[in-house]
Chain A
Amino acid sequence: MLGIALKMLFRDRAKYAMLVCGLAFCSLLMCQQCSVFCGIMMWTTSTVRNIGAPVWIVDAKVEQANEVIPMRQIEVERVRSVHGVAWAVPLYIGIEQARLEDGSFQNVQLTGLDTGTLTGRPMEMQAGRIEDLRLPNAVVVDQVAVEKFLHKGIAIKLGTIFEINDQEARVVGICHVARSFLGQPYIYTTFDRAMEYAKPTRKQLSYVLAGPVPGVLDAELAARISKLPGLRAVTKDDLFWLTAWWYIKNTGIPISFGTVVLLGIIVGIAIAGQTFYLFVHDNLRYLAALKAMGARMHTLAAMVLLQAFSVGFIGYGIGVGLASWFGNAVLARETPPFFMPWQVPAFVAGVLIFICGFSAVIGLVKVARLEPAVVFR
């Protein structure tokens, strides 16, 4: 009877198309919006992921990675004194102003890496060598800088010169890193030179990056360092989630995306539920005839469930497929943000199962109440 159930569904083309379109739209909306939301959350944590150090030490009042409360440089030595620390290096991160040769300005995120080790260096160099950062006035720019400068009419290449806070910066490399939340280009230089570029303040150390000796876990080391007065140490993963949750709790981003996802669920329930109810209602007389002819309730229930979940499965496939296609298209441009972890399609599948189950139950209630004798009326 399941084959017959599928024929009944697929050959009722108008309702079948409406059901599939409704569920596909619902899946697309949820999947795309959740993925863009995850993409934004990834952008908020780009600094953590780009630098990649196992343990981050910040001022005790810092709540997330994009919030910098400068510390004294002596903190690096204090961290190094903690038992279990294999290495500890300074890191500078600050928003500075770059002036281009045509006189236009561009805000940049200046990242000063430890001069000796270049810890936190970009993983992917597209041109030049990261070691050349040790040359005078050398900087490495990311792909966003290339795009933004090109937009202002300046094609950045190795050797291009511009100014950061009135001091010369010469491009010795172009790298590819994760975009920052505010879309500012990352400019890499050494920590010492970053101190020269940055406006002088009493405290200039943004972060201390540290790593444990063999046999000590990152979390264990972070706990030990956190005992130092005025400092807070977190592992890379913890800082990632602290940052993501900070944006979820303190911005309107989740509400705006959540509203769209909720609308997707409501649209799905409304369209799929109503259309499936109509589909079952229109077939009620025939289901009653089947019941009279000896179809058991569980056979009819299996037919209705198969019909509901078939359209759900097809709609889900189309919706998630379209969202993935959208994602692939935007990933090439890297904007808008798009990141689809497995939890997103799993969440959408869960919602679709609920919608299809809800629709099927509405239909099943009608079928269960059906008197087979109704066919004689």
Chain B
Amino acid sequence: MSNLAIDVSDVVKSFPAGDTRTFALKGATLDARFGELMMIVGPSGCGKTTLLSVICGTLQCEEGTLTIFDRDLRKMKDSQITRFRCENVGFIFQQFNLIPTLTAVENASIPLVLNGHSQKESLRRAGEVMAEVGLGDKLHSYPSQLSGGQLQRVAISRALVHEPRLIICDEPTASLDAAAGQKTLDLLKSSALQPDRCVIVVTHDNRIYHFADRIAEMEDGRVIGIYEDPKDYHHA
């Protein structure tokens, strides 16, 4: 097995805009390694989220190659991609997307239920993961009863509960204050990052750049630079 978890090369993705098409990705190339927290940064509209969507298989690209864990996503059927995502990808969304009518532990258990585990077993395992992220006393709280930081920790629990190999984070600190954002990244790095796992974070919050192992800078649908040391990006 190669050390590359993700290998994206010359990916093109466009969207219809009236009679023409708008190109969100114009040949983006990126790789991410196992055991690495890779941040994708850049100005709004540069294609960060589109690239993230293509990597996790929620969007299909038109050109280029896309290899995740040595599997060519472009050659997989929709149902295979859905199955692949279910088993291998954990999601942390900007708006958390926790179902408001489910308790924290029920929300965190969803990926396990989707993977065919029993509800009882899923709740037990989700409770353990929530305890690991410091929310052992909030298992039965509803999202409306939790703070922003706590919500993000529930979201992290949900992303980790089924032990996926790829964690996708879309602006994980956008809805949090500075302190909560730092704690979230601390937690993400300590809990999520494993030698056999890769974490991709899309952000433009420069206060968390130092958590990255590498930073990919995007502009106008392309990756224009990859920085081995986050400090280099700061100084660039």
Contacts and interface: CB of A to CB of B under 8 A. Distances in A.
A3 B58 contact: no
Contact of B82 (A1, A288, A296): A296
B99 A293 contact: no
Contacts of A376: 49, 52-53, 58, 93-94, 170
A294 B114 contact: yes
Interface string B175-210: 000000000000000000000000000000000000
Contacts of B52: 376
A368 to B, nearest CB: 13
Contacts of B110: 4, 290, 293
A8 B101 contact: yes
A7 B91 contact: no
Nearest to A282: B100
A376 B91 CA distance: 10
B111 interface: yes
Interface string A280-315: 000101101110111110010000000000000000
Given A7-B106, A8-B102, A376-B52, A294 B89 contact: yes
B101 A7 contact: yes
A151 interface: no
A1 B106 CA distance: 11
Contact of B114 (A283, A288, A290): A290
A285 B93 CA distance: 11
A71 interface: no
Contacts of A1: 113-114
A289 B91 contact: yes
A101 interface: no
Nearest to B97: A289
From B82, B83, B102, residue with most partner A Cβ within 10 Å:
B82
A373 B114 contact: no
Contacts of B119: 3
A371 interface: yes
A124 interface: no
A375 B49 contact: no
A147 interface: no
B56 interface: yes
Nearest to A296: B82
User: Interface on chain B toward A: helix, strand, loop, or mixed SS?
Assistant: helix
Contacts of B226: none
B203 to A, nearest CB: 13
Interface string A3-15: 1100110011000
Contacts of A299: 114
Contacts of B56: 292
A7 B170 CA distance: 27
Interface in B54-101: 56, 58-59, 79, 82-83, 85-87, 89, 91, 93-95, 97, 99, 101
A289 B196 CA distance: 25
A7 B123 CA distance: 14
B99 A286 contact: yes
Contacts of B53: 373, 376
A125 to B, nearest CB: 62
A295 B102 CA distance: 17
A377 B132 CA distance: 30
Contacts of B170: 375-376
Contacts of A289: 91, 93, 97
A290 B49 CA distance: 18
Interface in A324-377: 371-373, 375-377
B33 to A, nearest CB: 23
A8 B58 contact: no
A287 to B, nearest CB: 9
B58 A372 contact: yes
Contacts of A12: 101
A19 to B, nearest CB: 14
A95 B99 CA distance: 70
Contacts of B106: 4, 7
Contacts of A285: 95, 97
A131 B3 CA distance: 105
A294 B95 CA distance: 18
Contacts of A7: 101-102, 106
A288 B53 CA distance: 13
A4 B113 contact: yes
B113 A293 contact: no
A300 B56 CA distance: 20
A295 B110 CA distance: 10
Q: Counting chain B CB atoms within 10 Å of each CB, which of A7, A8, A12, A375 scores highest?
A: A375
Contacts of B83: 294
Given A295-B82, A376-B53, 12 more contacts: A3-B119, A8-B99, A11-B101, A11-B102, A288-B97, A293-B85, A294-B114, A296-B79, A371-B58, A372-B58, A375-B97, A377-B49
Interface of A: 1, 3-4, 7-8, 11-12, 283, 285-286, 288-290, 292-296, 299, 371-373, 375-377
7 contacts: A1-B114, A292-B91, A293-B91, A294-B85, A294-B87, A294-B111, A375-B170
